[in-house]
Structure 1
Amino acid sequence: MRRPCRIYGRTTERAAVEALWAQLRSARGGTLLLAGEPGLGRSALLARAARAFTLGPVLRPRPLPAHPRPYDGMRALLRAASEGGGTAAPPPPPYRVGAGLRTAGLTQLLRQYIPGETPLLVCVDDVHLWDGPSRALLASAARHPEPKPHRPIGLLLSTAEHRADEPEFAGLPLVRLGPLDERAATALLHDLAGADVDPSVRSELLSEAEGNPAVLAALAQRLTPDELGGHRPLPRPLVDGALWAVFGARLAPLPPPTRQLLLLAAAAHEPDPAAAGADASPVLRAAREGGLDPAALDPAEAARVVYQAGDRVTFGSSLLRRTVYTGAPSSQRRAAHALLASVTDADRYRLRHLLHLALAAQGPDAALADALVAAAAPGTPTSPTERSAALSRAADLTAHEDTRTAHLTAAAEYARMAGDARRARRLLAATRDAASPDTVHGRTERVRGSLGLGDGPVGDAYQALLMAAERLDPLDAEAALEARMEAVDAAWAAGDHHACLAALADGPHPAPSQDPALAGAPPAVDPPVPAQDEALSQAHPPFPSPPPDPRRDYRTGLRTALDGHLTEAAQPLRRVLDRAHHDDDPTRLVRAGAAALVLGDIPAACRINARALAASRSKGLAALTPRILEHLAYAELRAGQHARARAHAQEGLRAAHRAGQRNVAASQHAILALVASVEDHAAAVAAHAGAALEIARPHGLLQAVTLAEWALARADLCRGRPLEAVARLGPLTRPGPGRGHFAVRMLALPCFVEAAVLSGAAAEAGAAVEEFALWADQGADPQAPAQLARCRALAAPPDDTADALYALALSRHETGHGDFERARTLMLYGKWLRRRRRPAEARNRLRDALVGFERCGAPAWAEQTRAELRATGDAPDPVPAGGLGRLTPQQLRIARCVAEGATNREVALNLSVSPRTVDHHLRNVFALLGVRSRTELSRLVHRTEHGGPQP
C-alpha cells in the first residue's frame, strides 16, 4: 500500500489559497479559514500550502495538549516564531502573552521574533482546539489587520466543519471542503493501491467512502491484493472499523446515553438511508421504552452530530450516521431495531415495522421473510429503496437457496430502479454461485444487462439481455419481452442495425408473472376508461382504437422502419403516439417519444418525453430519469430549442452521475457538445466531446461517438476549418465499415456536404447529396427538405442554378422551426452572393443570418457572419492602433487568420478567395508591417489587439 503524495482535486480550495498569496504579494494582509469534516484533507491542504509558500517565512505552531491553559495557543505560536526567527528568546509567560497582545497586537509582537519586511504566513491547523483566549486574539488580529503594515501577515487557519460558524470566526473568508469528486477519488485510490484494482471493487470502495479521502485510504489499507483485484470476495461489513478510525473522535466524548440514543436514530434511518432524516417521534418513543431520557440527545446537538428540526432527526453527514451504526456491536444494533419495531404502528407502517423486526432477527425466519415480500409487492405505497431493503433482508432470513436468490435478484432490480447501481451490483454478486432455475437466472441476467446498459460495454449488456429473454420465455413472457426491449436499446446505442432487428423479432405473447418474490417494476396496465367516457369515445373517437398491447405496435413499427419501409411503419407507430396522450407509464412514454422521432414528429417527441419525465419523477424512478432527460434533450436539440436542450442535458448529466450511469452521462455530454457547437466556442465543444468520447469509445456507444464527432466538425466549420471537418465526418458519413450511427449519420450529412464543398471535394459532396435526397424523401426529419436544397445549392456548378436552390431552401425553412439551420442557409447564401459580386443582395441575406444567429444564441456563428458583412463593406473594422491601421480590410482579415495559425489554403477557404490571392495579400502585409515571418506577424497582431505579448 503506497501513501498518497499529492492533493487530489481541490481546485476551488487551491484557488482560494492562491488568492491569499496574491494579497500578500501586494503588501496586504489576509486571512483564509478552511473548514471540513474529519478526513477531508484540510490538514493536508494546509501542510501543502505551507510547503509551497515562497514569499517569506512560515510559522506552524505545534498541536496543543488535550486540555490547554489560557493563552497556550499564543505561546505555541510565539515559540514557533522564536524557533523560526533564529532568536534565543523564550516565549513569555501566559499573562505577558495576553498583556503584550492587548497592548501591541499580534503583528508587532511577531516582529520581535522574526524581523524583516517580507510577507509572513501563519498556519494554524485545528484552530478550534485552541484555548478560548488565544482563539479570540487570533480572530481579532485577522478581523482588524493593520491598514499599512510594514510586514504583511497572512493567516491560514483550519477548523472542523461544525465549528466554522462560531461567533469568533464570523466574517472571516471561509472555504468549506466538500467530498472529492469521482475523478479525484479514483486518482487517490490509484496512488494508494496501484492500477490492479478490479473495476467493481473500485466502484464499491468509492461508494463506501463517499468522497472522504481518509475513509477511502482506511478501506484500501485493510484489503489484500487478492481482494483489491477481485480474486477474493470483500470482507463484510466492508466499512467495519474504517469509519470509526476517522470519525470516532467526534463521537467518543459523548455520554453513553447520548450514543445509545444516536444509535436509535441511526437505526431508524436504515430502512431508507436516502431519506432526509429519521422520524423523531418513533426514535424518542423507543428511547423512553428503553429507559433513555430524550434530553440525552442534547449533547449530540451541541456537538453538531445531529440536528433536530420539527419532526426529523438528521445527522450532520451520512458518514457520521454510518459511523454510529457500524461502530456499535451487533447485539446493540439488534436491540435498537427491536425497540423501534415495538413502537412502530404495524398497520400504518407495515413494511417499516417488518424491516425493524427483520433487522432485529438473529437467524432464518421464513414467516417473516414471506411477510416482507408481501409488504414490498408492487402496488403498495413504498419507495423502491425500501422495497430493495425489504427483499434483501428477506433473502437474509431465507434458508432455501432458490428463493434466496430470487429475493436478492428482486432487491437488486429495485435498487437499480432507485438509482443505486452500486447496491444493485453488490446484491447480484451474492447470487453468482447459486444454482437456480432458468427463470431466476433469467431475471438475474436481465438486471445485470440493465445495469450494463447504463454503465459498461453495451455489447455485453445486449448479450446478457438476450440470454435473459431466452431463459424467461417459457415461464415469464412479460419479463422476456421487457428484456428484448432493453436489448433493442443496447443495440441502438451501439449502432448495430442487425442486432436491433434480431432483438425486435417476434417472441411469445407476454403473460404476467405469478411469483411475487420475483416482482420487478409494477406491471404495465392500461388505465381503465370510465363508463360515461366510453360511450362518448365510441360516438366520437378522438384517436384510432388502440390494440391490446402497445408494445407490439412499437416493435412492429420500429422493425418495419429499420427495414427501410417508413411508410408502412407509420400506422403502428402513430397508434403508439395516440396512446401516449392518456398514458402515465414512463417506460411506455419513452418508447412513444422514440416512435415520434422515427416518424419525424419532433414537437410530439418533446411533449411525450416531458410527460415521461413528470411521470418518472412522481414515481421516484431515479434510474429511469437520466435516460428520459437524455431523450428529452435530444428531441429539443432536433427541434432547435438549444437552451432547453442544454438545461435538460445538464440536469440529466447530474442525474446520471448520481445513478452511476456513465453511458447515459456520455450521451448527455455529446448532446451538450452539439449545443455548444451552436452556443459556445470551440473549447466548450472540445471539453464535452472529449468527456463523451472517453466513455463512449471503450463502451461501444456509437451513437454518442457520432454525435460528439459531429459537434467537433460543426465547431471546425464555425472556425473556418472545413478540411478538419471533412476529416472528422468523412469516416462517419461515407458508406462501408466504420461508418457512423445509422440513425444519426444522415443528420450530420449536410455538415459533411458543406465541408466537402468548401474544401474542394465537390465530387464527394455530390455523392453525399444524392444519398441525403433519399433520406429526405422519407419524411423522417422535418428540416431535411430545406437542408437538401441547401446542399444542392452548395454542390451546384458555378452558374445561377444555385440562386434558385438557395431560394427554395429558404422557402422550405419557413415551414420548420429550425432558426439555426435557416440562419446557416442565409449565411451560405450571402457568401455565395458576395463571391458572385452581388454585395447589396449579400448584405441583405447576411443581416438576416446575423439576426437569426443572435436570436438562437449562436455568438461564434454570428461573429463569422459579421466578418462576411465586413467583407461586403457593410460594417468595416475600426482602425486598430499601431501598424495594423495601414492594412486594408481584406489584408487585416488575412493577417488575423494567419495569426490564428491558419495556412494559406485554409485562409482561402475561410474567406472564399483563391490561395493565390491570399499569397499576394500576405506579401503586401509583410512589406507594410516590416515583418519577415508568420511568427512575427502573429506576435504583432496579438500584441496590437490584445495588449500584450503572445502567450
Structure 2
Amino acid sequence: MLVGREVEQRVIEQLLAGARVGDSGVLVISGDPGIGKTGLLDHARALAAAMRVLSARGVEAEREVTFGGLHQVCVPLLPLLDELPGPQAEALAVALAVRTGPTPARFAVGAAVLGLLTRAADEMPLAVVIDDGHLFDESSAQALAFAARRVVSDRIAIVVAMRPVQDSAFAGLPTLHLGPLSVEGARTLLESARSEHWTAARVARFHEATGGNPLAILDLAGEAERLSGAPPHTPVALTGALLAAYSRKALALSAEAGTALLLAATDNHDLAALGRACRAAGVDLAALEEAESAGLVRLTDIAVEFHHPLVRAAVYGEASAASRREAHRLLAAAVEHGELDRRAWHLAEAAVGPDDPAAALLETAAEDAGRRGANAVASAQLVRSAAHTADGGLRGERLLRAGDQAWLAGASEEAARLLRQSLALARSPLDRARVLGRLGSIESRCGSLEQARDLLFAAADDATPHDPDAAALLLADAVEACVYLCDSASGLRAAEQLVDLTGSSASPSARRIGRMAAGFALVLGGRADRGADLIRAAMAEPPDDSAGSDQWRFRWALLGPMFLREAGEVRATMAEAVRTVRTEAAVGMLPFLLTLISRDHAASDGWADAEAGYVEAIRLAQETGHHTDLALASGGFAWLLARQGRAEESRHHGGEAVRLGTVHSAWLAMVWAAFGAADLEAATGRPEAAKESYEALADMLSDLGVTDPDLSPGPELVECCWQLGEPLDAVSIAEDYLAAARAKGQPWALARAHRALGVARGLDEGEAEFVEALRLHALTPDPFESARTRLAYGSVLRRSRRRVHARPPLREALATFEHLGAVPWADRAAVELEATGETALRRGAGVIAALTPQERQIATLLAQGRTSREAAVALFLSPKTVEYHLRHVYIKLGIHSREDLAKAMADG
C-alpha cells in the first residue's frame, strides 16, 4: 500500500504513458532506506502490465562483480544480440563474458546496451526497473547511465531507485527526491497498520520520532506507547531499533535456519550455489521456510528475497566474525568455477590477514575486469588483492595498477591516493620512478602543473641510470606539463636530456615520443626550426606496435600533427589517431584527448565537431575533476565561440579558463582565452579595444618567455594598426613576426606573416605578399586563416580602386566564413563585397547555424549517404533518436528528403 505518494505516482504514470507512445523517459528515485522507493517501483511494474518489464537489483555482494548489474538487465534480451551492429554486439558479448575478445571500446558497451534496449522496444514498449542502483557495480552503472542519457524517441522507460550517494554514474539524470511522509500520511499508514485510535498528539510525536519514514512507522507502530511516554524532542535511534527488531527475529530461529539465513544474507545471487553451500554446512535450504514464516525473507523459484536491506544487514551484522568468514569460505567453494569475481570476493572475505591464494585470485579477477573494460571494478579488486598481499613490493605493484585502473575509470582522487600508498612501498628507484610518473601525469590533469612538472623530472632522474627508455617517456610527459605552464626554460632543459636519451639504442616508442616532445620544447623556447624538424622526423618513425593500446600514450599521436599544422599526409595520421581515441580511450583519458581533437577541428573546417567535442570535454572534465583539462577546454572553446561572434558564451568560458588557469598555473589556457577575448573585439569592429587586448596578450607571452609565432598575435596587431592609421607600427610588427615565422619554417605561421606584410605595406608593395600567403595557406588545413587573408587582400584591392579584382577573394572569404559559422567575419566580408558594387548573396549560413551541434552531426552523416542505423552507430544513439532529430532538421531547413538534405548541407 502506497500512502502519501500521489504526486510521485502521477510522475511514474506519465513516464510510462509517454514511453508507450514513443516518448522515452528516465527517472531516478532517490531516498533514504525505508522511505518507499521499492513500493514506487512495485507500482511502476503494476502499471507496466502491457509493457515488457526488465527488473534488476543491486546487491552489496556484487559491487565487485564485473558487469553483474548489466547482466541482470541484458540477459533476457540476449537473443537479440546478433541483430546489433557487429562492433557493438562484440563489445557487449565480451563485457557480459558471453564471448572472449579484445577489451571493449569505452563507449561501445553503453552504445550496445542502448541498441539492445531500443531493438527490444521495437517489439513492444519496454520498462527497465532497477532497485538499489547505488549497489550496482560501477561499470554496469556507467553503461546503463550512458544508454539512459540517449533515449529520446523510443518506447522505453527507465526507472532507477537508489540511496542518495555522491559521484553516482546516474547523476544528472531526471531525479525525484523522495522525502518523508506528511503527518497526515503517517496517520493513514498507522491506522492501516493498527486499527486503534490515534490522537493528533500521538501521531505528531510518532511522526517526529520516525522522521516520517514509512518503514520505520510500520515496524515501530507497536512502540507507540513507549514513544508517547518519552519527553518531547527526545531522539530515537530508529536504525538501531529496527536492526534490533530484525536481529531478535533472526536469533529466535533454529540453528539450522539461522545458518541458512546467514549464508543467504552473505550471497543470495544464485539459489543453486546457495543450496550447495547449505549442504556443505550440513543444513537444508528448505530451512529458510522458517525465516519466511518469521517475515524476514520471501522465497521464490530463483532467489531468496529479503524483506528489506536492513533485514539483511541485521542478519549479517549480528553474526560473529568467524561465522561470517565461514559463510564466505563455503560460498567461495560453492559458486560456479566460471564466476571468477564472486569466488575471489568470497575467498578474500574469508581470509584473515595476508593470503596469497586469495590475493592472486583477486588479481586474476581484476585482469579479467580490465580486459572487459570494467576499470572501476578492476581497481577495487586490486586494492583488495593488495590488502591480502604479504610481500611489500608486490603489494606496492598491485596498488600502482589499482591506481592506474581508478584513473582510467575517471576516479582521479582515488587514483592519486592509491599511487601515494604504492610510492611508500617502492623497492627500487625504478619502481619509485614509475609511481612518481603516474602521480605527475595525474597532477598535470587535475592539480598543480608546477608540481606535475617537478614530479616528472624527479621520476626521470630516478629512471635514467636504470631504464633510459622509461626516463625518456617521463621527460616527454614533463615537456607536456611545461607546454601548459608556458615554461620554456624547463622545457629546453628536458629537450637537452631527451636528445641524449633517444639515440639509436632507444626503443622505437621512446625515440618517437621523446624526439617529438623535444621538438615541442624547442618550439616553445624559440628554437623553432630545429624543433619542427625533430617533430617531423619523429612522426616519420614507424609506430611501436608492441606498445599496444597504451592509454597513457594516446595523446602523442594527436600532438605531433597539431604542432606542425600541415596538410597532406600528416592529416591522415591525425584522422587515424582521432578514430583510435574515439573507439579505445578510457574515461580518465577522454577530457584532454577530446580537447586536443576539438582544438584541431577548430583549426580546420570542423567547427561543429569542435563545438560538440569541447562541450563533451568540459562535461567529462567537470565530472572527473580534471581541472587543468577543464581550463584548456574552456579556453579553447572561448576562442572558437569568439570567432563565431557568440560573445556572452565566449566570455563565460574564457572567464572559467582564466579562473582555473590562475589556480593551476595553466598559462596556455589563459593564452587561448586571451586570444579569444581579443578576437571577439576585432570581429565586432572595435579595433582600439582589440589592439589593447592583443598587446596585453603579447606582453603576457613575453613575460612567459614564449616565442612560438603560432601563439603570437602579431598579424592581428598589424590589422588593428592599419585600421587605426598607424602604418609604421604595422610594418615594424609585421617584419618582426616574419622573422619569427621564418625561424619556425612552418607554412601556417609563414602564411600569416605574409598576410601581415601585405596589409602593412599596402597594394603597391604588398600584393606579392598576399599571393604568397595564399600559396602557403594551401599547405595548411586552416580555412579560417585563409579566409582572413582573402578578406584582407580584397579590402586592400577595393581601397586601391580595383573593385573588380577585389570581388573574387571577397566572395571566397564570405563563402568560407559562412560555411564555418564565423558570423561577424562573414558580415565584414559581405560589407566589403557590397562596397565593390556587388550584392553579397548570403548562402543561408543562418539556417544551418540554427541546427544544434547534434542535429548538425546527424545531418552531416546522413547527407554523406549514411543510413539512420549507420549514423546511430557512429554517434552512439538509437536509430529512432536519429530519425527524431532528422525531423527537426527537416523542419528547420524547410526540406522534405535526403536529397534535399544533401544539397542544403553542401550549400550551407
Answer yes or no: same fold by TM over 0.5.
yes
1:322-401 superposed matches below 5 A: 329=317, 341-346=332-337, 348=338, 350=340, 353-373=343-363, 381=371, 383=373, 384-399=375-390
Q: 1:345 to 1:466 in 2, by over 3 A?
A: farther
| DSSP-derived class of the 1:414 partner | helix
Deviates more, 1:412-421 or 1:760-769: 760-769
Alpha-carbon distance, 1:790 to partner: 1.6
Alpha-carbon distance, 1:796 to partner: 1.5
CA distance in 2: counterparts of 1:207 and 1:355, whole angstroms = 23
| DSSP-derived class of the 1:846 partner | helix
Q: 1:433 to 1:705 in 2, by over 3 A?
A: same
Aligned counterpart in structure 2 of residue 788 of structure 1, from 722, 736, 753: 753
Contact preservation (8 Å) 2:486, 2:668: yes
CA distance in 2: counterparts of 1:327 and 1:376, whole angstroms = 29
| DSSP-derived class of the 1:469 partner | helix
1:433-582 superposed matches below 5 A: 438-475=429-466, 479-506=470-497, 549-554=511-516, 557-558=519-520, 564=527, 566-567=529-530, 570=533, 573-580=536-543
The code of the aligned residue for 2:721 comes to: A
Deviates more, 1:737-746 or 1:415-424: 737-746
1:130-164 residue CA offsets vs partner (Å, 9 max, x unmatched): xxxxxxxxxxxxxxxxxxxxxxxxxxxxxx999xx
| DSSP-derived class of the 2:542 partner | helix
Q: 1:469 to 1:377 in 2, by over 3 A?
A: farther
Aligned counterpart in structure 2 of residue 857 of structure 1, from 821, 830, 843: 821
CA distance in 2: counterparts of 1:447 and 1:436, whole angstroms = 16
Aligned to 1:674: 639
1:395-427 residue CA offsets vs partner (Å, 9 max, x unmatched): 222355555444333322321133221321343
Aligned to 2:30: 38
Higher helix share: 2
Tell me whether 1:711 sits opposite 2:673 in the alignment. no
1:133-144 superposed matches below 5 A: none
Aligned to 2:18: none
The code of the aligned residue for 1:564 comes to: R
Q: 1:568 to 1:866 in 2, by over 3 A?
A: closer
Alpha-carbon distance, 1:814 to partner: 4.4
Contact preservation (8 Å) 2:400, 2:435: yes
Contact preservation (8 Å) 1:656, 1:664: yes
Deviates more, 1:472-481 or 1:502-511: 502-511
Contact preservation (8 Å) 1:338, 1:357: yes
Aligned to 1:822: 786
- Where does the alignment leave 5 or more consecutive residues of structure 2 unmatched? 1-10, 12-24, 36-130, 134-156, 180-209, 220-241, 251-258, 279-284, 293-300, 842-908
Structure 1 vs Structure 2: percent identity of aligned residues? 25
1:262-284 residue CA offsets vs partner (Å, 9 max, x unmatched): 9999999xxxxxxxxxxx9x645
Contact preservation (8 Å) 1:754, 1:791: yes
| DSSP-derived class of the 1:738 partner | helix
Alpha-carbon distance, 1:719 to partner: 0.3
Alpha-carbon distance, 1:715 to partner: 1.4
1:665-704 superposed matches below 5 A: 665-704=630-669
1:744-795 residue CA offsets vs partner (Å, 9 max, x unmatched): 7545432232223323444443333123212332565433333222211221
| DSSP-derived class of the 2:747 partner | coil
CA distance in 2: counterparts of 1:267 and 1:608, whole angstroms = 53
1:285-324 superposed matches below 5 A: 285-289=272-276
Q: 1:327 to 1:630 in 2, by over 3 A?
A: farther
1:85-484 superposed matches below 5 A: 283-289=270-276, 329=317, 341-346=332-337, 348=338, 350=340, 353-373=343-363, 381=371, 383=373, 384-399=375-390, 403-428=394-419, 430=421, 438-475=429-466, 479-484=470-475
| DSSP-derived class of the 2:690 partner | helix
* CA RMSD in angstroms, aligned pairs only: 5.9
Alpha-carbon distance, 1:392 to partner: 0.7
Contact preservation (8 Å) 1:214, 1:246: no
Contact preservation (8 Å) 1:609, 1:631: no
1:911-946 residue CA offsets vs partner (Å, 9 max, x unmatched): xxxxxxxxxxxxxxxxxxxxxxxxxxxxxxxxxxxx
Contact preservation (8 Å) 1:247, 1:323: no
CA distance in 2: counterparts of 1:693 and 1:726, whole angstroms = 20
Alpha-carbon distance, 1:496 to partner: 0.7
Aligned to 1:721: 686
Tell me whether 1:628 sits opposite 2:618 in the alignment. no
Q: 1:723 to 1:603 in 2, by over 3 A?
A: farther
CA distance in 1: counterparts of 2:793 and 2:677, whole angstroms = 23
Q: 1:764 to 1:426 in 2, by over 3 A?
A: same
Work out which structure has the larger RCO, using CA pairs closer than 8 Å and 6 or more positions apart in sequence. 2
Aligned counterpart in structure 2 of residue 638 of structure 1, from 592, 596, 603: 603
Alpha-carbon distance, 1:671 to partner: 2.1
Contact preservation (8 Å) 2:635, 2:653: yes
Aligned counterpart in structure 2 of residue 753 of structure 1, from 710, 718, 729: 718
CA distance in 2: counterparts of 1:508 and 1:806, whole angstroms = 38
- TM-score, normalised by the number of residues in structure 2: 0.56
- Where does the alignment leave 5 or more consecutive residues of structure 1 unmatched? 1-15, 17-32, 44-159, 163-173, 186-203, 218-243, 269-279, 300-307, 314-319, 512-524, 527-545, 878-951
Contact preservation (8 Å) 1:706, 1:740: no
CA distance in 1: counterparts of 2:418 and 2:588, whole angstroms = 16
Aligned to 1:653: 618
CA distance in 1: counterparts of 2:703 and 2:681, whole angstroms = 21
Residues paired across the two proteins, number: 618
Contact preservation (8 Å) 1:369, 1:393: yes
Contact preservation (8 Å) 2:741, 2:750: yes
Alpha-carbon distance, 1:466 to partner: 1.9
The code of the aligned residue for 1:806 comes to: F
Q: 1:350 to 1:404 in 2, by over 3 A?
A: same
Contact preservation (8 Å) 2:270, 2:303: no
Alpha-carbon distance, 1:606 to partner: 4.7
Tell me whether 1:594 sits opposite 2:585 in the alignment. no
Q: Choose 1 or 2 for highest CA Rg.
A: 1
CA distance in 1: counterparts of 2:594 and 2:584, whole angstroms = 15
Alpha-carbon distance, 1:476 to partner: 5.3
| DSSP-derived class of the 1:579 partner | coil
- TM-score, normalised by the number of residues in structure 1: 0.53
The code of the aligned residue for 1:369 comes to: A
Deviates more, 1:321-330 or 1:688-697: 321-330
The code of the aligned residue for 2:389 comes to: T
Contact preservation (8 Å) 1:453, 1:663: yes
Q: 1:567 to 1:494 in 2, by over 3 A?
A: closer
Q: 1:590 to 1:432 in 2, by over 3 A?
A: closer
Alpha-carbon distance, 1:450 to partner: 1.9
Aligned to 1:918: none
Aligned to 1:303: none
Q: 1:656 to 1:286 in 2, by over 3 A?
A: farther
Alpha-carbon distance, 1:670 to partner: 2.0
